[in-house]
Chains A and B, each alone.
Chain A
Amino acid sequence: MTALTSALEITKLAHEMHVDEAELAFLATTSPDDLRDLRGIVSHAMFSRHESRVKGLAAVSKKLPAAVTAKIAEIAMGPMLSARVAAVMEPADAAKLAGHLNPEFLAELSVHLDPSRVEGIIAKLDDALVVDVGRRLMAQGHLLTLARFTGVVGAETSLKVVDGASGSDILQLALFIDELSVIDPILAGLPDETVTELAAATDEHDEAAEALLATLTEDSRARIASLT
C-alpha cells in the first residue's frame, strides 16, 4: 500500500510543480507522509512568492464592481492569477465575485486553487454552482483537482458531482482524496451498480483495493463483499 500511496503523492506533487510525474520518480522511496509534507512546503513556497502583490490585487478588487473584476479576471488575469487572488480575498467578496464568473472559467481556476485556502469561500457558494463546476472538472478528467476539493465540499455535494461517473473514475478519485473520512460516506451514497463497477476496477490492482478498503467502515466492506 505504501508504494501506491507514495506514487499517488508523487502525482500530487508533480501537479503542484506543473511537471511530469516521471521527473519525480526518484522520490518513490520517500514515505507518503513525508511526500505530503514536501508538497505542502512546495505549495507554500510557490504561493508566497507573489503574496504581497496578490493581496494588493485583492484589495483593488474591493474597489471595483464585482462584474468589472470578473471581466478582468476572465479576460486578462486568467485562471492561475485569479486563483491566487481568490485565495487571499475575503470569503464574502470572493463568493460574490464567483457569482459573476462563467462556471467554465471557475473550473479552470479550480485547477490552480489550494482548496484548504478557500474553504470559507466554498462554504458561501451556491451548492448548484459547486456541483456544476465539479461536474465540469469530472468531465475534463481533473480527478486530482476534484479529489482535493472533496474534503472541503463534503460527501453530500461530492455525491451529486460524481452522479453518473464510472466506477473506475470514482476509484481513481477516492485514491487521490487526502481527507480519508469522506470516502466512506461517498461510497455509502453510491448506487449498487456503481459500487460493483468500482470493485471490479480494483480487480487487477490489489494495492488499490487494499488502500480503498482501509478507509471504509465494516458496513461498507460488507456491502462491497455482498455485491461482488
Chain B
Amino acid sequence: MSEGLDRLAATLGVPATRLAPLEAYDDQQLGRFDDLIRSAMTAEDKAFEASLDEALKLVPRMLRGVVQKMLGGGR
C-alpha cells in the first residue's frame, strides 16, 4: 500500500485494504482526494457546531444544562 492510500485510509477510518481499488492512483491524486475529504469534513464540522450553538439557544433554559451534559459537557 502506498503512503497516499494509508493517509486516505486513516482519514476515512478504514483499513487501507478496503481502498485497494484506488491502488492504481498515484500519491498526488490520492493526496488531492484526501484533501477534498478533509475539507468536506471540516466544512461539516463548522456547520455542525454553528447549528448546535443555535439549537442550544432555543432549548428551554431549564433543560439547557442537561442537554449540554448529554452532548459531552464541553459546550
Contacts and interface: CB of A to CB of B under 8 A. Distances in A.
B45 to A, nearest CB: 7
B1 interface: no
Contacts of A56: 67, 70-72
A219 interface: no
Contact of B48 (A27, A29, A60, A81): A81
A24 B33 contact: yes
Contacts of A46: 40-41, 44
A101 to B, nearest CB: 14
B11 interface: yes
A77 interface: yes
A80 B40 CA distance: 13
Contacts of A42: 12, 37
Interface in A38-63: 38, 41-42, 45-46, 48-50, 52-53, 56-57, 59-60, 63
Given A27-B33, A37-B18, A38-B22, 10 more contacts: A19-B36, A41-B12, A45-B14, A49-B44, A50-B45, A53-B71, A56-B72, A64-B60, A75-B58, A77-B54
Interface of A: 17-19, 23-24, 26-27, 29-31, 34, 37-38, 41-42, 45-46, 48-50, 52-53, 56-57, 59-60, 63-64, 68, 71-73, 75-78, 80-81, 84
5 contacts: A37-B18, A45-B14, A64-B59, A78-B51, A84-B48
